[in-house]
Structure 1
Amino acid sequence: MYITVIAFQQMHGNKPLVLDGIIKLIKEPKNKYDTEAIACEMRHFGKIGYVANSTNTVIKGCMSSGRVFDKITDEYFAKIKFTKDNIAIAKILDSDEYIEEVENPESDVHYLLEQPQ
């Protein structure tokens, strides 16, 4: 599954959206603007934005946060595959890809896990 990530406008030239960057996806069911909101966090940056959920912002071929919301756990991971400005297309990691990331001691997954393995 692919998603569109809309990042906040970055200050001071910091650009968290880099190819193969790991994004932690966190459901926000109590978000006052969207009960299907999925926040995105990255190592060194914290919260960088949200998974797109509007027909105006979801890139063709990607799933909206509303379509992904019930398919993932409260915390999940994705890997950036394409970027342009403050928008990225990320692939949600399947179980084999997640295990591969966990087995890699250099992976940012280790810094983003609530309960490190």
Structure 2
Amino acid sequence: MKKVYFTVTGTRHYYGQSFIEAGMTVSLVKDKENEHDREAIQVELPGLGKIGYVANSPYTVRGESYSAGRLYDKFKKKAQGTVRYVLDDALLCTIWIKG
């Protein structure tokens, strides 16, 4: 198993991210009904629901973190990740994948 980083964007379209802290667990859920992105992965917080999406554009992916396209085939339907850094307009999280 290897730990990789991924970027969460779009939080401002839902609840914002002022309450999100490093160490929180997030759920990754494939959004197979997304008509704009076939590899869309929504990010959820338990008890709250969708808070954003895994970034899938070279303009929104931060540093060397994985895009949704790179993560999409690494898990079946759902996976768990951990918030590591809260940035001004994104979250940097980790997930363990086979590899």
TM score, norm. by length of structure 1: 0.72
Q: What is the root-mean-square deviation in Å for CA atoms of aligned residues? A: 2.0
Post-superposition shift, 1:35? 0.6
In structure 1, C-alpha distance between the alignment counterparts of 2:17 and 2:7, rounded to whole Å: 20
Q: Which runs of 5 or more residues in structure 2 are unaligned?
A: none
- Counterpart in 1 of 2:45? 42
Pick from 82, 88, 93 the counterpart of residue 91 of structure 2. 88
Q: Quick check: which one's helix share is greater?
A: 1
Asked whether the equivalents of residues 6 and 88 of structure 1 are also in contact (C-alpha less than 8 Å), the reply is yes
In structure 2, C-alpha distance between the alignment counterparts of 1:14 and 1:44, rounded to whole Å: 15
In structure 2, C-alpha distance between the alignment counterparts of 1:7 and 1:21, rounded to whole Å: 17
Q: Quick check: which one's strand share is greater?
A: 2
> Higher Cα Rg: structure 1 or 2?
1
The size of the alignment, in residue pairs, is: 94
- SS of residue in 2 equivalent to 1:57: coil
Asked whether the equivalents of residues 16 and 42 of structure 1 are also in contact (C-alpha less than 8 Å), the reply is no
Q: Which amino acid in the other structure matches residue 41 of structure 2?
A: I
Post-superposition shift, 1:7? 3.7
Bigger RCO of structures 1 and 2 (CA < 8 A, at least 6 apart): 2
- Between the two proteins, what is the percent identity of the paired residues? 32
Single out whichever of 39-48 and 86-95 deviates more from structure 2. Answer: 86-95
TM score, norm. by length of structure 2: 0.83
Asked whether the equivalents of residues 79 and 93 of structure 1 are also in contact (C-alpha less than 8 Å), the reply is no
Pick from 61, 66, 88 the counterpart of residue 64 of structure 2. 61
